[in-house]
Structure 1
């Protein structure tokens, strides 16, 4: 279903500088009329135009047209002198007669200034004027701005000081983001802001270019970063961390096929394993984490619904055990080693569990599988037990992202572009992440170092299964830097007994009350048949060494041919679906972030559409392409455009 047109007005300014400026100009016209009535009669009219730029407190028109009554003494030289003297007294600037049309009873006046005093009309001055208007519109008429310029006279940064009474209104993050969005929508380029509310200052600067890919750096654990799990970098070059000791002990990663979600989750698993901590994975697709099944310290990759339920229940039981140790044995939270419990494709997992429960629910059982209660308990309580949940899903899920579970998934990372509905669920703002370029894998929005959402480029973490086939030197080197220094956790599987097992027979070998759910809750860990076999990089590292030698000219040996092992054939992923609806016609003042519009034959996404504070009736539109190109459009409010919007079902 195509999303309905949002009938909302263009964004309003924080203060209303344009209205204040207009009032000052109207007041000047009224003053001129009042001063000229004794000379020209009650019917006198004054029209002002060509207003001087950057003169707000005392506005100065570049041209004044005076229309007067036929009975006026316009033939008297003193009459004209009185006219110019009155205008000069009211405006505060000397004026001279440009032309006098006696027959039409009109006089045109212009400022009497020298060539040196003529206002600078260069492109830089015009841009500075527009920036002045925007800043005063947003942050108050008494705000002041200092500009920095690039070599090509492009505006690169704006340092602003604003009144204290405005600072109070900017305490809200939403207000500050609104200001940033309007600046992006009205000035050339894409802008971001930093704020010092205490000192009533702000800095706006052009966004820097992102790298197309960021290789996952080598693990180098120190006391300072042991509990900081890195996953991406922001446009400022800051590392995005999942802080396991913060109030956000659990996390959520979303992304459609091809956006890089699995790559990010693989990196998270390897970061935990590289710290010699245990990793448990639920893999409903069965092949997404095939490449790390034998990675050291990855203890279990559960692929059947029964094993996945058993794994979640096992984590719940471990949490209960650790709580008992704290309560009765004097243990401390720091005595426990962190455990990663990763539930990928959680929406698929939930559907599979519901189907399994409908077939295996026993008499008197609740309508909903109890494993979901265990998930809720883990989300609320597992932090103290050093058990950390990470959910993966293709789209933000309304059922998961509601209530207590959502509140405990504080560390979030959305890969790719979100719909306004998905952005609202994920980031509690319908515009965040809606303009992420679609053709750059790994680009998305993540919880930044300051706890606020920030655009980020995820680390590239290669899948060992695919590297074994491709033998790319760069990928081998990345895996070498992530490989654990030791194996401290051996692999296991779950043994789930059937109803004929002795466990379910009484002393007379008669069946007791067996249920599939009871069997899962009694599942035992047993060592995997290949528990002592681990994926090694020796063969891959030999390839890397050969590649390095060849690059240095030390050997003429050809690079190894890719292996054709059948079990290493790549699973081809479908192309990313187009989640946008049919073309509809929308007027410019009804555009919203996330809409697709046609620019020169290409569909680009609207990053912001705002009323231009300097040009009444105009809408400034900032857009962004799938390749991360950006540009601006200026349209009248009633211009009609062809628009495509994300369907509501897309998230």
Structure 2
């Protein structure tokens, strides 16, 4: 039976080891401690015991003399020591203090050596700790490594955490660890703890950047504060990389930083300015987006070839550059009914006319641009679908004539006067052309085939820029048929693009090249949308409000005095001249003006027949635009209601049960669309559409209702 362990003995041994440590023994030519771990630190040897023993003998000599009576030598020594008791005590006390400091330094040395060995796998060449290490935190320690010692970042992080846990913060002090690889050493120093006075927003930004590997070595500092000391700007420095120069990467970082910073106390939002070449970005507050901006009467942009139309983030003025040198010559506006598309068109056209640029427009709904008919600088507004096809062909002829004039006269295109051609509700017009091509009389079908308005439009989108013709296109929804290979890369030519309301995922990808842009627009604010900034990136924008410029009493009486003042202030003093270089366009505009004059003087419409409390044909909606819309057949989705020809010359509403779109494998262009519908029987009916065919909707495609 084994004898029980003596707790007193164990305590004494433990205290001995705590004070003096284990003796280092040699194994295979190397020193190891009692646990067999390699070490370069020997046993602690105190120097004070001899001085303490001598001082104690001197102090207690009178008591010891009677016990050694008869030994004259010892008696003489004790007697002499007793005479030096105070000097000996004065020497023993500082030696004890030095030994306590040496012991604490020795203990810290052993701990540091053990920590370095366990975390990095390297045995230090030498560990030096200051003799005054402080109560708990080290004052200074130098860990000398062997030349060429490599410490991986992960191992160094573990070493730093281990040292910080071994010597935790105490009072106002903390331990700092620094690796000087070029000197083959690790420095452990004591630093005063600086109170963290950063705001919660500042801490959140720095913590997120430290936790993720988005920006390397990112540091957040306060760039500016308001009068209350609240941060209004942050500067983030980082190590430049390939990612930091990519716009897509910057956009994702901007979104993350704005989310982390949260809504500012002032209600303003955050914007970010990148300088990747210098390794920093600045977050600043910008004014909150306005909910309405009335069309300013002053020329906001002094450049007469810049047509402003909206206020963007950071109070930027968005404009359409119609100059000959512009890389954004044509403008595309996308937005459902009620989103403010018509107001943007009025804004651009009124800005154009007071800068001396005339326009001519096509309005298949007969209500979008009617107020602009007769406006200074307006050549004509075309409403009839067949005459619209004639106009597009005449405009194509004008383009060719202008190019021939430039070639013959050896002049620059910038010397020709500009003109703007507005084609609103493109898909409705396209649908009417297709309907006429199928149901029209022989003469109409033959004329449409000869005019080929869709082919002429595709040429205009690509070639009109150099001839001084600018295209303004309005559609309900974006579609690949506007931008695909069949349109000659028209998307690049429609460099000025803006969308109102929320886009679908495919629509956002087609408009902005990013499936996330324009999908969370605040539709409760009329005129809110996305516009293409001067740097080519989409930004939030509030479109300017321009009232209907129609001075007909029925329209004019509905306007407020401030709205009338806007119209009066925008009207140019002198109407821009409309210069044609082709006889075809000149004759078409003259004939259209004559037809419009005749309609105004002799035309008439039937008065509504009142049944109950609402006239026939009057909708309960308050919007002017109550005409059914048209969309490309490829944009139809399952469950959508569309109008289908019943074979007897009428169109009936049906619900689409399935949609099949066949695309070109190389370009992705639509080749054919098949809509499956159920007409009431067991067998489904498949209706096939070509790549550019459109379908009509039973009701206008409106903005979604907001709560």
Q: Is it true that 1:302 corresponds to 2:402 in the alignment?
A: no
1:158 to 221, 234, 238: 234
Structure 2 match to 1:291: 371
Within the candidate set 444, 453, 460, 1:371 is matched to 453
**How do residues 587-626 of structure 1 correspond to structure 2 at under 5 angstroms?**
none
- Does 192-201 or 226-235 show the bigger shift? 192-201
Contact 1:400 1:406 in 2 (8 A): yes
The match for 2:690 is none
User: How far 1:356 sits from its partner (Å)?
Assistant: 1.5
Q: CA deviation at 1:381?
A: 0.8
Quote the Cα distance in structure 1 between the aligned partners of 2:452 and 2:277: 50
Partner of 1:252: helix, strand, or coil? Answer: strand
Q: 1:265 aligns with which of 318, 342, 345?
A: 345
Query: For residue 209 of structure 1, what is the aligned residue in structure 2?
Result: 288
Residue of structure 2 in register with 1:485 after alignment: 573
Q: Is the Cα–Cα contact under 8 Å of residues 401 and 426 in structure 1 kept in the other structure?
A: no
Which structure 2 residues correspond to residues 106-121 of structure 1 after superposition, within 5 A?
110-114=168-172, 120=195
Distance in 1, Cα, partners of 2:591 & 2:377: 16
Structure 1 equivalent of residue 56 of structure 2: none
Gaps of 5+ in 2: 1-31, 38-102, 117-128, 138-164, 175-191, 264-268, 601-617, 630-634, 639-700
Rounded to whole Å, the distance in 2 between the matches of 1:114 and 1:138 is 31
User: Partners in 2 of 1:439 and 1:260 — Cα distance?
Assistant: 12
3-state SS of the aligned residue for 1:170? helix
Distance 1:192 1:208, change over 3 A: same
When normalised by structure 2's length, the TM-score is 0.55
Cα-Cα RMSD: 4.5
- 2-structure distance, mates of 1:425, 1:160: 33
Paired residue for 1:174? 248
Relative to structure 1, is the Cα distance of residues 401 and 112 closer, same or farther in structure 2, using a 3 angstrom cutoff? same
1:91-118: per-residue Cα shift (whole Å, max 9, x none)? Answer: 9998969xxxxxxxxx998432339966
- Residues 633-648 of structure 1 mapped to structure 2, 5 A cutoff: none
Label 1:138 to 1:108 Cα distance change in 2 as closer, same or farther (>3 A). closer
Match of 1:511 in 2: none
Aligned 8 A contact 1:84 1:96 in 2: no
- The answer on whether the counterparts of 2:365 and 2:627 sit within 8 Å (CA) in structure 1 is no
Higher mean C-alpha displacement, 358-367 vs 329-338: 358-367
Per the alignment, residue 315 of structure 2 pairs with 237
1:344 paired with 2:424, answer yes
User: Distance in 2 between the 1:380 and 1:114 partners?
Assistant: 71
Q: Distance in 2 between matches of 1:467 and 1:90?
A: 86
Contact kept, 8 Å, 1:296 with 1:486, in 2: the verdict is yes
Please say if 1:188 is aligned against 2:262.
yes
Distance 2:369 2:530 in 1: 23
Q: How many Å separate the matches in 2 of 1:151 and 1:453?
A: 33
Is 2:508–2:514's contact at 8 Å kept on the other side of the alignment?
Answer: yes
Deviations 1:197-221 (A, max 9, x none): 2222211123430122112122649
Q: CA deviation at 1:195?
A: 1.3
**Alignment correspondent of 2:516:** 431
SS in 2 for 1:388: strand
In structure 2, do the counterparts of structure 1 residues 94 and 381 end up closer, same or farther at CA, with 3 Å as the change threshold?
farther
Distance across 2 between alignment mates of 1:523 and 1:576? 28
- 1:421 equivalent to 2:506? Answer yes
Do the aligned partners of 1:467 and 1:476 also contact (CA within 8 Å) in 2?
Answer: no
- Corresponding position of 1:86: 111
Is contact 1:354-1:368 (8 Å) kept? no
Secondary structure of the 2:482 match is coil
- Deviations, residues 203-256 of structure 1 (Å, cap 9, x unaligned): 11234301221121226499x511111111112222111111201111101112
Change over 3 Å in CA distance of 1:239–1:214 after alignment to 2: same
> Is 1:449–2:534 an aligned residue pair?
yes
Q: CA deviation at 1:129?
A: 2.5
* C-alpha distance in structure 2 between counterparts of 1:211 and 1:357, whole Å: 46
Once the two structures are TM-superposed, the CA of residue 138 in structure 1 deviates from its matched residue by 5.2
Is contact 1:143-1:163 (8 Å) kept?
yes
- The Cα shift of 1:259 comes to 1.6
Give 1:329 shift: 3.4
1:443-485 residue CA offsets vs partner (Å, 9 max, x unmatched): 1111112232111111111112376022312111111221021
User: Number of residue pairs matched?
Assistant: 442
> 1:391: how far off?
0.7
Contact 2:389-2:448 within 8 A present in 1 as well: no
Deviation at 1:334, TM superposition (A): 2.7
In 2, the alpha carbon distance for the partners of 1:131 and 1:523 equals 63
Unaligned runs of 5+ in 1: 1-36, 43-77, 98-106, 497-519, 536-566, 583-646
Deviations 1:517-551 (A, max 9, x none): xxx99967426349899x9xxxxxxxxxxxxxxxx
Distance in 2 (alpha carbons) for counterparts of 1:367 and 1:576: 26
Asked if the contact 1:340/1:387 (under 8 Å) is kept, the reply is yes
Change over 3 Å in CA distance of 1:111–1:298 after alignment to 2: same
Q: Secondary structure at the match of 2:333?
A: strand
Say if 1:239 and 1:449, in contact at 8 Å, map to a contact too.
no
How far residue 436 of structure 1 moved from its aligned partner, in angstroms, is 1.8
Shift of 1:428: 0.5
Secondary structure class of the residue paired with 1:236:
helix
1:186 positional shift: 2.7
Separation (CA, whole Å) in 2 of partners of 1:433 and 1:390: 20
SS state of the match for residue 341, structure 1?
A: strand
Does the 8 A contact of 1:234 with 1:455 survive in 2? yes
Q: 2:279 aligns with which of 196, 200, 209?
A: 200
Deviation, 1:382, is 0.6
Higher-helix-fraction structure: 2
CA offsets per residue over residues 583-629 of structure 1, 9 Å max, x none?
A: xxxxxxxxxxxxxxxxxxxxxxxxxxxxxxxxxxxxxxxxxxxxxxx
Asked if the contact 1:95–1:111 (Cα under 8 Å) also holds between the matched residues in 2, the reply is no
Q: Which has the higher contact order (CA 8 A, sep 6+)?
A: 1
* Contact preservation (8 Å) 2:502, 2:521: yes
1:94·1:112 contact (CA, 8 Å) conserved in 2?
Answer: no
Query: d(CA) in 2 for partners of 1:38 and 1:467?
Result: 100
Instruction: Quote the Cα distance in structure 2 between the aligned partners of 1:216 and 1:158.
Output: 34
